[in-house]
């Protein structure tokens, strides 16, 4: 079993497909992850599930790998209040990142409406597309992802598979945006929509992973003084290097929402 605990999750799933269903039943979404190099043991550790659930999950995984082996079924132990999957609470700087996700999610939720709007109007509304690209590049990327990549992630092992997976999502998002711009230059409406939809699907899942898994895990590993440092550094971004950016793009999203609703 030890060998499988130290094996990349995709390898384990390929060899023992039943493991995919077991992980999914605990809300562990390794199956759609494109990277899949996280080790089985880390996948279990990083998720916010109770000790009893962890033991039960490992028992089921071990049974799937070694169906003929006698494995003792774990006996649930009395858990401390709060040790179950609980309401997510974040330190102030990580809560600020969760709050920034809200504005990004408003764009992601608008994508079906944007697609409808773009298809309905005979002339391609280039300004709307450019505004969306501008929001993604300046708010989602330059403000938010930069806080993650240049500040928060630096407190953790950059070679860890977890961070590599999150960075790979950021890179894929940037590729979608490049493709939107290319399609815009070619007046290719369907390709614009395709890449906006791709971006929305990618970021919806990415944000869910950060809110529910990555940030709570990071919070558990940060010391009080590191949380304070993060708070100060994020504050500096908001008030010095990226001053006024959040407010500007809040208005831009509101205008975009109004535009696609009223059309």
- The residue among 148 and 161 lying less far from Fe ion, judged by its C-beta, is 148
Nearest residue (CB) to Fe ion, 99 versus 263: 99
Total residues binding Fe ion (CB under 5 A)? 2
Candidate ranges 42-50, 53-61, 181-189, 206-214; the one touching Fe ion (CB under 5 A): 206-214
Count of Cβ atoms closer than 10 Å to residue 207 Cβ: 22
Q: Looking at 52-60, 66-74, 124-132, 141-149, which segment touches Fe ion (CB under 5 A)?
A: 141-149
Minimal distance, residue 106 CB to Fe ion, in Å: 14
Tokens 């309905």 appear where? Answer: 120
Which residue, 4 or 139, has its beta carbon nearer to Fe ion? 139
Q: Which of positions 147-176 make contact with Fe ion (CB under 5 A)?
A: 148
Identify which of residues 161 and 210 has a Cβ nearer to Fe ion in the complex: 210
Assess contact for 35 and 205: CB atoms under 8 A. no
139 near Fe ion, rule: CB under 5 A: no
From candidates 107, 210, 215, 252, binder to Fe ion by CB under 5 A: 210
Pinpoint the alpha helices (H) of the chain: 2-5, 9-15, 18-25, 40-46, 51-65, 92-120, 126-135, 146, 161-185, 189-209, 215-221, 224-236, 245-262
* Span of 195-203, 209-217, 229-237, 255-263 interacting with Fe ion by CB under 5 A: 209-217
Q: Which is nearer to Fe ion, 132 or 152 (CB)?
A: 152
| Letter string b/e over residues 42-65, b meaning 16 or more CB atoms within 10 A of that residue's CB | bbbebbbbbebbebbbbebbeebb
Residue 141: φ, ψ to 5° = -90, -60
Of 17-25, 68-76, 146-154, 217-225: span binding Fe ion (CB under 5 A): 146-154
Nearest CA to 204 out of 120, 63, 133, 106 is that of 106
Binding site residues, Fe ion, CB under 5 A: 148, 210
């Amino acid at each position: 079993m030890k060998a499988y605990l130290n094996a990349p999750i995709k390898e384990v799933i390929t060899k023992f497909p039943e493991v995919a269903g077991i992980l999914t039943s605990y809300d562990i979404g390794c199956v759609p992850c494109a990277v899949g190099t996280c080790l089985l043991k880390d996948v279990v550790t990083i998720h916010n599930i109770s000790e009893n659930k962890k033991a039960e999950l490992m028992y089921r995984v071990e049974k799937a790998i070694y169906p003929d082996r006698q494995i003792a079924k774990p006996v649930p132990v009395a858990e401390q209040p709060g040790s179950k999957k609980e309401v997510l609470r974040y330190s102030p700087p990580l809560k600020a990142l969760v709050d920034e996700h809200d504005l990004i999610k408003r764009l992601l939720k608008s994508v079906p409406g944007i697609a409808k709007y773009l298809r309905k109007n005979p002339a391609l509304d280039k300004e709307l597309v450019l505004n969306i690209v501008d929001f993604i590049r300046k708010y989602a990327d330059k403000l938010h992802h930069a806080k993650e990549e240049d500040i928060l992630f630096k407190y953790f092992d950059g070679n860890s598979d977890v961070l590599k997976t999150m960075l790979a999502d950021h890179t894929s998002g940037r590729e979608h945006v490049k493709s939107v711009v290319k399609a815009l230059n070619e007046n290719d409406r369907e390709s614009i929509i395709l890449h906006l939809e791709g971006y929305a699907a990618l970021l919806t899942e990415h944000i869910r992973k950060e809110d529910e898994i990555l940030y709570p895990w990071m919070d558990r590993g940060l010391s009080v003084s590191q949380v304070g440092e993060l708070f100060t550094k994020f504050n500096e971004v908001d008030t010095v290097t990226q001053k006024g950016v959040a407010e500007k793009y809040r208005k831009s999203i509101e205008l975009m929402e109004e535009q696609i609703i009223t059309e």
